[in-house]
Chains A and B, each alone.
Chain A
Amino acid sequence: MATLGEGPVTPQEEQVKWLQEASTNVKRNAFYMKRAVDEDNMREALKYSAGLLVELRTSLLTPQKYFELYMQAFDELRHLEAFFKEHHTKGRSYADLYELVQHAGSVLPRLYLLCTVGSCYIRSKEAAAKEILKDLVEMCKGVQHPTRGLFLRSYLCQVSRGLLPDAGSEYEGEGGDINDAIDFLLVNFTEMNKLWVRMQHQGSQRDKDRREKERQQLADLVGKNLTYLSQLDGLDFTLYKDVVLPRIMEQIVSCKDDIAQQYLMQCVIQGFPDEFHLGTLETLLGACPELQSGVKVHIILASLLDRLARYAQTDPSVVDAFNKADAFGQLNAAASKVATQQAEMPAADVAAMYIALLGFTGSVYPDRLDSVDQVLAATHAALQSRATSRDARAEKQLVALLSIPLDKFDVVTVLGLNNYPHVMGLLAPATQKEMAVKIVQVILKNTTRVTSVEKVDMLFDFINPLIVDVEGTQDDTDEEDFADEQSLIARLIHQFHSEDTDVQHQILTAAHKRFLKGGPRRLKHTLPPLAFLALQTVQRIKAREEAGDALDSSCKTVLQFTHGLIAALAAVPMAETALQLFLAAAYSASEVARLELIAYEFFEQAFILYEEDIPDSRSEVTALQSIVGCLHRCRVFSAESRETLVHKATGYSGKLLKKPDQCRAVCSCSHLFWQDIPEGEDAGSSADGVQPPVRDADAVMVCLKRALKIANAAQQQSAVALKASDTSHVCLFVDILNHYLYYFEQGNTNITPSVLQSLLELVSNEMANDHCKKDAALEAFYRNTLKHIAWQKKREDGVGKLYEPLQI
């Protein structure tokens, strides 16, 4: 309402002004009322109290402001109440006063005064509580303005609190019984709800939003009746079931009002005890489909389910009671009915409803997967007709729904449920992928093992959007996200595990088949872990073979399978990783499976990659280091094949780009002729399929001399380049010296103290060079080497003796 002529005034300012005016009037009348009380003038007191109550007739104020005014009047009426009591002690009967206040001119003040006297009247027990209450609750019908009526009835409710003839109350007996108490509250509730609902239909459509907001503010006044009902000591289950609930529900359903239904259903669920709900599920759930289409039934159901779930956790016997009442069946049926009858209900809300049901199932029946499946089936049935894949909110809810059982049960078992794929199928491709990521993450988090081919295949069906390109998903993925996803899959592979190695081999094969469809971009990530898993399987098969188990998949077949994997990886191309994998496989073939031919083939493949596909010199150095380190340990090779492999490796050493790399590689290669003698084995012994350790002192010497030659060449190279300050070749000499010492200690008879002595002299001469002295790192290396000799000389065992002739 705009105030003309006074400039623009906002509605808020208007409200403040009106409240202020009314409040001043209340205060003024209250002042005179109190003065009349002091003068013991009942007539005047009633006149002014009616005067202050008249202010409550305003229809200008919003509920919030009206409430402030109401509270003010409420406080003032306490003075009047005290005055009534005083008069009563002086001998005036309440019946008389009850008569007297009815002379007030207008209806609203009259009813407030009646309620005030009425409460005193009941307390004095001069009349039966039930009579007064009945009278008051009926008379209040005289006010039909929603806000005014609601506050008046709220006042009645407030002042009669504690005065009801509840069981065990002092007003029980002559004053009535529990039925009267219930009846009073139910009538008041019904009337208040009618007033509250009527509010919705007043005023213009334009003000609908404001009106709904105001109604929300008034909700608690109506709800208070239900709270008081639930607090009655005399309210037992039978009364609740037969009297209270049917009347409440009747009112809720018949009022056909969205706000009231939403609020009151929640009130009932929150207000009354758990066991009451369990006993009246049918009534409660039966009402749900009857509610208005604008009511968010899923929220109502969710809070009911939540309460019941918490109830079930308090006591195991409760679960039995649930079973007896077929709580789950009833809830599931109710949800379906709601979904069918409320065709307008948004898909997201339907999903939210089933989330609540699933949460309930999970906490009440933690081991009942069949219930989960039933809920999924119901979800699918309810959502099939609602297009979810274009509804972002619904998609989000569905993802949440599908995630619940993953966290609570064994992931793979959940995926095996009949209806899980159906529900997942409702999702849009991009969301399905999101869900796939989630599934993998949960498996990894719980370290769930996937133990059979069927399960692996099923899992792959679920995570297919991560395994292959699916239309509608690949466009929005950048390279880094893609790598992260594939890294998840790579980690997932380690969860494929069967105790039975035959099954394990089948799993590997099945996974490989799936991965091949993903293209090289994915193979780069998925093949290496698969290859390692295969090699691990070889180790396990060997252990079982040694234990004498009869197996379908031998080390050989799995190694051949691994060969295919690595070859595919090399074709990606990923030469360096493939080379490392070929070496790892070669090592498995040699040291685990003892299969010479296969080990040889793996080395050959590694060599081919080395020769053809290693991109730069640094990578060559690294690859060669791995080749030599691996070959050194392999003991399956006959002299002939070993010679071929060693010859190739040493050949590569000499062909490296830089002299220092060549020199060090040749030093490393010397070890290819000098294998360790494992503890408990004699030199020259050989077990089944194992060749005796190679200990070729002469060949070692050839290598070391070649290394020296290369170091010399490096020295000349830097001399030619006039780089006098270059000390790298001296470092090589110290390196070689250390290798001499190594073999010296190892008992290589070609290295005599005199050979060492001359090498020591050579190095010492080189070190005398000023440039070398300035090279701190080189100095330290040399000094440490001499210190090592001194240390070994001091030893009192054979090594000490060996070093004795050596002079430093």
Chain B
Amino acid sequence: MVLVLCLGDLHVPYRAIDLPAKFKALLVPGKIHHVLCPGNLCTKETLDYLRTVCTDVRVTKGDFDDNPRFPEDEVLKIGDFRVGVCHGHQVVPWGDMEALAILQRKLDVDILVTGHTHEFKACKYQDRFMINPGSATGAFSNLARDVKPSFVLMDIDGAKATVYVYELNNDDDDVKVDKVEFQLTKDAEAL
């Protein structure tokens, strides 16, 4: 059992003050094994914070990140899954499932984590899975209205991934959790 935190588009301090206190309270250090951030942190301070939650933090470059060390994309193996991370502003049309699927085929990943649209999404595509954790700070974006802060926590157990989506309702400061399950089908290779 491996816990993977996916969160992105924080845009601190350009568009948001900080992660919501409710989220910070949930992100207890020492429980999470990997942090995958598709990008737009944007400050070192935020990166330092994520490193207190977990030592393995993977960040890809967002359109507002100026850290030259962040790669455009990154692939890692977690359990039986190949997981890919990329911010997604490079993929036109933005947030388009079919266009992202091309990237997913290219990176050869079972789960693709992207960001940019500030709209949370977790869904199956063919025999693969796509996740957009939304903006963890609920940062303003032209692409979406009334962005709610959200992030995704994946619990990977061998070939099974349970995806929990945390969304904060700004009005009543209440965290809503949804669950999606995804099972890797090995016989897909036979096609």
Contacts and interface: CB of A to CB of B under 8 A. Distances in A.
Interface in B128-186: 140, 142-143, 145
B45 interface: yes
A529 B142 contact: no
Interface string A392-411: 00000000000000000000
Given A629-B92, A633-B94, A532 B63 contact: no
Interface of B: 11-18, 43, 45, 61, 63-64, 66, 89-94, 96, 98-99, 101-102, 104-106, 108, 126-127, 140, 142-143, 145, 188, 191
Nearest to B105: A784
A491 B18 CA distance: 8
Nearest to A588: B142
Interface string A117-146: 000000000000000000000000000000
B123 to A, nearest CB: 16
A746 B93 CA distance: 13
Interface stretch (A455-463, A763-771, A785-793): A785-793
30 contacts: A491-B17, A493-B13, A494-B17, A528-B14, A529-B13, A535-B142, A539-B142, A591-B142, A622-B63, A625-B89, A625-B92, A629-B89, A629-B90, A629-B91, A632-B93, A632-B94, A633-B94, A671-B92, A734-B106, A738-B105, A738-B106, A742-B99, A746-B98, A780-B108, A781-B105, A784-B106, A785-B105, A787-B188, A788-B126, A790-B191
A447 B21 CA distance: 11
Interface of A: 444, 447, 484, 487-488, 490-491, 493-495, 525, 528-529, 532, 535-536, 539, 576-577, 580, 584, 587-588, 591-592, 622, 625-626, 628-629, 632-633, 668, 671, 676, 734-735, 738-739, 742, 745-746, 777, 780-781, 784-785, 787-788, 790-791
B182 to A, nearest CB: 17
A577 B18 contact: no
Contacts of A525: 13
A487 B105 contact: no
B54 to A, nearest CB: 23
A754 B37 CA distance: 42
Contacts of A745: 98
A205 B142 CA distance: 79
A409 B13 CA distance: 25
A628 B90 CA distance: 9
Contacts of B108: 777, 780-781, 784
B18 to A, nearest CB: 7
B92 A491 contact: no
Contacts of B140: 532, 535-536, 539
Instruction: Name, among B14, B94, B145, B188, the residue most crowded by chain A CB atoms within 10 Å (CB to CB).
Output: B14
Nearest to B88: A629
A491 B63 contact: no
Query: Helix, strand, loop or mixed for chain A's interface?
Result: helix
Nearest to A795: B126
A535 B139 CA distance: 12
A490 B126 contact: no
Contacts of B126: 788, 791
B15 A494 contact: yes
A629 to B, nearest CB: 5
A532 B14 contact: yes
Contacts of B17: 444, 447, 491, 494-495
Contacts of A444: 17-18
Contact of B63 (A490, A580, A591): A580
B102 A625 contact: no
Contact of B101 (A529, A625, A632, A788): A788
A525 B66 CA distance: 13
Contacts of A628: 92
Nearest to B94: A629
B92 A632 contact: yes
Contacts of B191: 787, 790-791
Of B90, B92, B106, B143, which is in contact with the most chain A CB atoms at under 10 Å from its CB? B92
Contacts of A493: 13
B142 A626 contact: no
Give the most central of B11, B66, B91, B140: most A CB within 10 Å: B140
Nearest to A579: B63
Given A580-B64, A622-B63, 18 more contacts: A444-B17, A487-B13, A490-B14, A494-B15, A494-B16, A495-B17, A525-B13, A532-B15, A584-B142, A625-B63, A625-B90, A625-B92, A626-B63, A629-B91, A632-B93, A671-B92, A781-B105, A787-B105
